[in-house]
Each structure stands twice: as structure tokens, then as C-alpha cells.
Structure 1
């Protein structure tokens, strides 16, 4: 019970939002329709069971008229079964895709909301492969949950429907034991019960490790796929480093984990298949062997024997539902665990509260700001500076001293910080990183991002491409390509700076946003940025000394490192 409660609670936490959400009326309507259709299928199975009696009795009695009537009855039952089965599956799939659509949007809202998609990678340990959990695990969860729940419902209703039939057909088994006559009414029901209990226990014992193996297999598959994507996205860097052997070794290592786990999965599934196949084959002949004594004693006719065998198969199959469904149950349990791990990761990411920037006039100010690494090591402490409209500050210092982390804290995305951050009231703040983000779509959409494509006149776009030295792209505004792969890093940085020139913000923070440019182009673009930002606030991180001439003040960030005393902004000569 202690193990079952967390599982039920986890599943309920994943199921409840949809079935109590805004699509609940259609969801419940579809579910009830599918349930009714499944119940209709069971009613038709009962009809087939009764048909067995009349059909085989007609054969035994050489009754041609009864035989023809039985064939007509079979055609009617078969037609009804086909019709109901088709629409039961169709509507179940409709319910599945609607549930998947709703749950995907729900999880995306959680993942993208409050920047959990970024913070989740800063957890210790981080949550692996969120893309797989959203794209694949949600799909498997909705499909398997419906399949297993409806399968369990069918098993219970089938058991209740055929239990009375089997009890009636079984009669009473009498035999002598220790000089006494022992009578067992409905003996085939008890035989089916013992047979299914033994089978379910053995299936559980053999197949339980599949839950862990399925969980690990999904993880290793995602890790291997992620490694392949990394090589594709960084193909140029790998080629320049001649890193094929290193990448081959890493991909081989990841696939090796996948292979080893899959091999264990194969061996465990082989054991389970040995058992389930034997269990299923024995179940074909077993009820005939058990019912045969009554047939040879002429207590029942051939039709009664076949009806008994059919009813026994339905009862035993319903009782043994876990045996046949256990591989799917193991896979479903692994999927639930992965989704719950992901959901807990999102909650942990939401709990990482960065320093909330406060609004204070027209100044950008930092007071007593201390930055930590995820393992709580102090990176910078007691950082202080203040900038007003028209000010510009160049932050410098050795690599790894915390300059970029400081900008992340200003942007409100670094949760390991304490102190006070003040931003101008109702001002537009923009942060540019060293590697710009280029969305999928046309070059026009890339230049206008984050505004919609077409928000800026094409003549302005062409003019700005000329200004930033990308004139060779000016005739490709309508081209839709993977621009992050088409353009070099320097060209991507010029695209990001072009966005600033097209739509200057009130506060601009540049984190080595021009590091891939040649010095001449960097100074040229900084001169243009200084012009468009003359009434705003400019904050830059960079290493080249030439940047100093475009800023009114400089800040040596290394002075705020724990081993160094805090320092104020040093005015430039």
C-alpha cells in the first residue's frame, strides 16, 4: 500500500488537470462514448459465447436448418462487432490526441513560464532531455493510460459478465477423498481463479525489473539522440578541430549504454515472453482438459463444451489481464516516473527565485549584490554601481570572474544571488549574449525578432544590412533557412546589433556581443550604437581595450571577487 499510494498520487497529478480543465465536457463525453462502445463489444462477446452452443450443437446433431440460422446469427454478430470496434478505436484515438494536445500545452506553459526552461538546466542535478519528455513521454502517457484503463475496465466487466455463465456451465465436480464424496460447485470458476492468480504472480515477479530498464532505456535513447544533434549543430567546429574521432568515441559511449541496457531489456522480456507464451498456449487446451470429463460422461453436449471453453477463456483472460498487459504497464510506469521527475524539476526550477529587479526612477543601480555558483560558492560579492540616462559603462576583467553572470543577474535569470537591483521605470531593457539567437524562418523574421516579420519596412532592413556589412544577404529577405548554420558567428552578431540599430531600447546590455567581429567593424558598430543609445543606458562586457572609448566609465569586475576588496566605478581619463 505504501508503494501504491505515491504511484496513484503521481498518476492523479498528471491526469486531473485535463479532466477538470476547460476541455472536460468534450473529454468526458468522448470517454463515456468509448466506454459504452467497449461495453457493447463485451455484450457481443457474450452473444458469440451463446452462439458457440447453438452452432456446435447443430454440427453434432447434423441439423442443417439450425446450422444456417447459426451462420446468419454469426454474420450479424460479426458485422456489429466490426462496426463497434472501428468506432471504439477511432473515438479513443480522438480522445488521446485531444488529451495529448491539452497536456502538451499545459506542460509547455509550465516549462516556458517563469523561465523554467532555463533554470531547469541550473539544477543540481539537472533534469535531462526535457524535449523528449514533452514530445514522446506525454504521447506515451496519454496513449498507455487510455489503453490500460479501458483494458482494465473491459477485464472487470468481462469477468462479471462471464462469471455467471461459467458458473452455470461448470456444474458440480464430485470426487471421493478419504472415503468421502467432495463436491465443488462451479469448479471451473475456481480453476480459472487459481490459474490466473498463479500467472499474475509469476508475471509480476519476472517482469518487475522492466520498469527500471524501460526508464533507463528512454533516457539513453534521448541522450544518444541529443549527442547526434549536438554534432549536427556544431558541425563546423567539430570539422575545424578534426574532432571526428572524439565525437565518434562519445557517441559510441552513449550508444554503448543504450545497447547494454537494451540487451538487459531483451533478456528480461525474453523471460517474460517465455512465460506469457506458455501461459497463453496452455490456456487454450487447459479448459478443454478440465471440462472433458463432463463431456465424456455425456453431461453436456459438444456445444456446451465449446461454450464452456469460450467462457473459461473469457474469465481466465479477464483475471489474467495483468499477465498480458504487464509489459505495457512497465512501460507506462517508466513514463509516469519520467514525467513526474520532469514536473518536480519544473517546481524546483520555479523555487529558484532570482533577485527581483525593483523600479527606481530612471537609473540602473546595483547595491550589495552577491553572486553565487549553483554549489553556493561566492563568485562576486558586494557589487555596487549606478547608471543614469545617458551613461555608459564598460565592464572588464579576466575570463571566468563573473561578468556574464552579473549580466544574467541584471536580466533576472540568475537565481543564485542576493542584494538589490534597480531598473528604470517602464523602460525597455535588452540583453545581447555572445551567441545571438536566430529563430527559424525568413531573414526578414530574423531581423525583426522578437517583433513579427513585417513590423519594419523592407527598405530599412536592406539599409541596415548594408550598414552592418551584410549587403550580400540583402536580396534574401524572403529566404527561409537555418540561419544559425548559414551565417558565421560574426555575421550572427552583426544581425543582433542590427536589431538594436533598427529598434533601440532604453537600456542595452551587451555580453561580448561583438567578440567575433574584426576590430574595425566592432568599433564602427559601437560608434553607431553609442549614437542611438545617447539618451539611454549602455552596459557592455568585453575584453578589447578599444571598447573603452565608447563608454564614459569602466568597472573592473575582478575587484568584487572574494579575494579582492570591493571597488567603485573608476571614471575614465
Structure 2
């Protein structure tokens, strides 16, 4: 079964335990609550099993009274039957409720745990950068949901099956040893055949999850880049890409349902065997007078209960295949999150009050090419500024990413503040969070900031966006800001964040490229007025006047730092 995932049963258990034990061994109140729910499930299952075996005897005696036409005894056993059913019904309802609460508690804790690791130390960025894990969003959403739901279901079914086997095997053995051991052999053969037939189905289920994730990503990608696609009129190309990915979804799903049909030919027939076999095996005992009609009825019920318990793998095969794919994908994500950072050598980052770049060599994260070699730079406080220039592709943005700590591949040492309130990075396309206009302005400190609306409005006036609150319905308005605001407005909004946060340093990666020169000049003068030191990447010659020094990055990775007054601009393109 587990060969589909290139692992043995022992490795599969190790992977599953590595993910599942995170919750059960966490020592949190959520884990304690989960254990209480599990104990309650076990208790209810035991009581239900006891009621079921009692029910089998009551049905036996009820059938015997019918055979003997004993009206008084029939009414007594009928009342007992109603009493047992009145007990079983609420217990099964509470069992389903408790099982669902356990699944929810487990999913809630595990999701929060994985998201915490995903956001820690910029793991979300590194995983995307390395491309080691496909569709992490699907793993955090779908796979955790499947893992917890199927785990709880399989645990509850497993406990129930154990109680059913222990109780009903004894009852069945007391009637007919052949019938009891025949059921064990039937269950073993059915399980083995189902696993053999279903191995291919497990592999298809694994591929289906990957194809579904890729198809969903293509739709999200189109939504996130709707405007560029519209400008290019690229609907045909995008449609072809989406159709190709959806075609793989349908093609694989067609294979799944076709092979599921083949498995169902066996499992459907197998499900009817417990209806036939007990009567075939026990009927001779009835005809020779050893058992009465009630015992025959009880034997049929016990056989079916025992069959259901022993054939757990057969009846839950689809859940097992989806469950196995889920915990394998989650285990891969867990291991990727634990392998943090870059392989050595890396650029050493230290905490400091200034930005100091000491003999740094910047390398692509895949280690295929050196972009910048032996760079040294020092940026002090109080409006110190450096403009990074050079032709496209030489590594200007790579320098900024390395200073900000996003890239660590390379050599050398960087000392700078790590607190975003002291060092802020502003990209060319600003990030717009899922929230209100107030949260856009105060990001990433929207939760802790106590800025008033009047203060926010004053900052918006500085960046010429004073009409924005009125236009969108106030600071509490929640919109898709990446589509509501133009790129120029988004860039000015990002500068407003800088003014509100007032960091010591800010790194601007073509952060004013969508602004006209008067607005761009206003932005840089505002930064200077607030004594914010900055490093900029830009292509406009007009930017030189706002910087004290210019770092010229050349092809081959060499760098030259010159005074802005001495910079001639020949290397500028």
C-alpha cells in the first residue's frame, strides 16, 4: 500500500507519527481537550458495542417467541428492544458530536502550529524561493483538514472494530467455530485483495491532489494579474493554460473513477457475502435441531457485525488513500519548514544601529551565479543616502534583498537593524494587505498602533492622497486595494507608511517608478525632512540630486561607490 509513496510501512508510520504527534504531545490545553474527547469516544463505543450484543440476544429471543407463538414473551422482548434502541440512538448522536469536536480541535491546533512555522523566519518566502514544496497553501488548508478528519474517523472506527471483534467473535464462536474462523479468513482475504487492487488507486489520488492544486493556482494567478492580462489581451493564452491544467485534472480523475469501478466490482460483491454465508454455514445446525430460528437470526447479525469490523480496510479504502496522501504531503512540508535558511556559506547578519556591508558577495539562491562581488558600504543615520544604479540584471535588487535579509546566499557580513520599525523595505509593487484603509497605512503595526484618523489624514496630505478616505468610504473601508488603487497611488500609500512608521532606514526598490517627477521629488524631500536614511534603486537621472552617494554596479559583479556630485551617469541606463 505504501510502496506508492516509495516508503515502507515502518517509514509511513514514522512520517504519520511525526505529524500527528505534534498535537498529542504538545502539552497544551487543546491536546488535553482532544484526549478527553478521545476517551469519551472510546467509552461511548464500548457502551454501544455492549448494547449491540445485547440487541442481538433480544432479537434472537424475539424471533424464538414468534416461532413458538408466545404472545406475552414477545411483548416483553419487544419492550426490551425499544429500550435498547432508545439507549443506542442518543449515544451514537453524542459519539458523532464528540468525534467532530475532536477533529475540529485537532485541525485548529495543527493549522495554527503549521501557519506559525510557515510565517517564522520568513519560511513562506524561502519555500517559494527554493521551489522545494508545491502548493503550500493547499497543504495548509486541504491536507490538514483531510489528515485530522480521516485520522479521527479511522481511530474511532478502529476502536469500534476492536470492541466488535472481541464481543461478537465470542458470541459467534459459541454457535459455530467454523463460522467464527471462516469470518476471520474471509476478512483477511478481502483486505489483501482490496489492497492489491487499490495500490494503483492510491497513486492516482496522490496525483489528483497535485493536479487540483495546480489548476486552482492557475485561476488565482489569473485573478492576481487580471490587469496585465487585459492589457495584453492574453485571454486566449491564459485560457489555454487553464484548460491544459484542468484537462490534466479531468484526465486523472477519469482514470480514478475507472479504476474505482474495478475495485468496486470486488468490494460490492464482498459486501454481500455476510448476508449469504451465515445462513449457508448455520442452516445445517438449524435443520438438525441444534439451533432455533432465533439463534439463526443472531448468527446472521453477529456475522455481519464481525465482518464490518474485520473488513475495516476494505470499507475505508478511499479514506485511507486520501489520508495517506495527506500525511505524506504534510510531512514533506514539516521537514521543509524545519530546514530553515540557506546551506553554508551564507552572508552573516548582525544586529547594528547602522547599515554596514562588509566585503559581501551576493549569489543567486540556487547558487548558480555570482551577481555582486566584494561589496563594502556604510550607511549612517540622519538623511544619509545611497543610489544604486546599473544596467538591468546586474544585481541591484539582489543587493537590497541581501541587506534586508531576504537573501542569505553568498559571503561576507552585514550589520543592520532587524526591527521593521528601524529598517523598512519598500518594493516597486507595494504590498496591500487584506484589511481596511487604516490597516494599509499602519501595516505591519496596524494591531499595536494608536494613531488617530487626523494623524493618518495629515500623512495622506503629504503624499497627495488626502481625498482617498472620502473616495472609498472612510478609514474603515475594506477593499481589494491592489485593484482599487493605481500603482502610483499604491506607491504613495507605501511612502505614507514609511512616514507613519518613521524608521531609521528605508530601502526603496524603484519605489517611485510610477510617480511623475514632481511627486517623486516630493517623496524624497519628505524622507529627508524626517531624517530618514535611505538606499534607492532607480533609473531616472533626476534621482541623483536626492542622494549623497551613488553605487555603480557593473557587469561581472564589480561595484564602485562615488559621491553624487562626481557621478557622471555614463554607466546609467
TM-score by length of 1: 0.92
The superposition leaves residues 441-498 of structure 1 with CA deviations (integer Å, 9 ceiling, x where unpaired) of: 2212211222226632222322322332223313232322111221111110010011
Contact 1:231 1:247 in 2 (8 A): yes
Counterpart of 1:142?
148
The runs of 5 or more residues in structure 1 that have no matched partner are 171-185
Counterpart of 1:451?
445
The CA deviation at 1:571 is 4.8
> Which piece of structure 1 moves more, 161-170 or 18-27?
18-27
The CA deviation at 1:405 is 1.4
Counterpart of 1:557?
553
Per the alignment, do residues 289 and 161 of structure 1 end up closer, same or farther by CA in structure 2, a change over 3 Å counting? same
Counterpart of 2:537?
541
Counterpart of 1:212?
203
Q: Give the match's secondary structure for 1:471.
A: coil
Counterpart of 2:569?
none
Contact 2:347 2:360 in 1 (8 A): no
Contact 1:116 1:349 in 2 (8 A): yes
The superposition leaves residues 379-428 of structure 1 with CA deviations (integer Å, 9 ceiling, x where unpaired) of: 22111222222321000111221111111111112132221112269881
The superposition leaves residues 477-520 of structure 1 with CA deviations (integer Å, 9 ceiling, x where unpaired) of: 23221112211111100100112223321111101111111222
* Counterpart mapping for 1:91-102 below 5 A: 91-102=98-109
1:117 to 124, 129, 140: 124
The superposition leaves residues 177-216 of structure 1 with CA deviations (integer Å, 9 ceiling, x where unpaired) of: xxxxxxxxx1111211221111111100111122222122
Counterpart of 2:372?
380
* Counterpart mapping for 1:274-285 below 5 A: 274-285=265-276
Per the alignment, do residues 350 and 291 of structure 1 end up closer, same or farther by CA in structure 2, a change over 3 Å counting? farther
Q: Does 1:400 align with 2:393?
A: yes
The superposition leaves residues 507-565 of structure 1 with CA deviations (integer Å, 9 ceiling, x where unpaired) of: 111011111112222122122222223xx421101111111100011011226x34xx4
Counterpart of 2:570?
none
1:17 to 8, 22, 41: 22
1:107 to 100, 104, 114: 114
1:370 to 353, 361, 377: 361
* Counterpart mapping for 1:325-344 below 5 A: 325-344=316-335
> Which piece of structure 1 moves more, 91-100 or 375-384?
375-384
The CA deviation at 1:10 is 1.0
Per the alignment, do residues 207 and 345 of structure 1 end up closer, same or farther by CA in structure 2, a change over 3 Å counting? same
CA RMSD of aligned residues (A): 1.9
How far apart are the structure 1 equivalents of 2:46 and 2:167? 10
> Which piece of structure 1 moves more, 304-313 or 468-477?
468-477
The CA deviation at 1:570 is 4.9
> Which piece of structure 1 moves more, 281-290 or 350-359?
350-359
1:519 to 512, 517, 520: 517
How far apart are the structure 1 equivalents of 2:62 and 2:418? 86
Counterpart of 2:67?
60
How far apart are the structure 2 equivalents of 1:323 and 1:477? 57
How far apart are the structure 2 equivalents of 1:259 and 1:439? 35
How far apart are the structure 2 equivalents of 1:359 and 1:16? 36
Counterpart of 1:309?
300
1:256 to 247, 255, 279: 247
* Counterpart mapping for 1:135-174 below 5 A: 135-170=141-176
Per the alignment, do residues 193 and 522 of structure 1 end up closer, same or farther by CA in structure 2, a change over 3 Å counting? same
Counterpart of 1:498?
496
How far apart are the structure 2 equivalents of 1:5 and 1:450? 45
Q: Give the match's secondary structure for 2:554.
A: helix
The superposition leaves residues 202-246 of structure 1 with CA deviations (integer Å, 9 ceiling, x where unpaired) of: 100111122222122122112211211121122112111111111
Q: Give the match's secondary structure for 1:572.
A: helix
> Which piece of structure 1 moves more, 113-122 or 125-134?
125-134
Per the alignment, do residues 352 and 457 of structure 1 end up closer, same or farther by CA in structure 2, a change over 3 Å counting? farther
Q: Give the match's secondary structure for 2:289.
A: coil
Number of residue equivalences: 551
Counterpart of 1:84?
91
The CA deviation at 1:307 is 0.9
* Counterpart mapping for 1:152-301 below 5 A: 152-170=158-176, 186-301=177-292
How far apart are the structure 1 equivalents of 2:235 and 2:58? 67
How far apart are the structure 1 equivalents of 2:417 and 2:213? 43
The CA deviation at 1:81 is 0.7
Q: Give the match's secondary structure for 2:467.
A: helix
The CA deviation at 1:255 is 0.5
2:57 to 44, 50, 61: 50
Per the alignment, do residues 511 and 111 of structure 1 end up closer, same or farther by CA in structure 2, a change over 3 Å counting? same
How far apart are the structure 1 equivalents of 2:409 and 2:103? 41
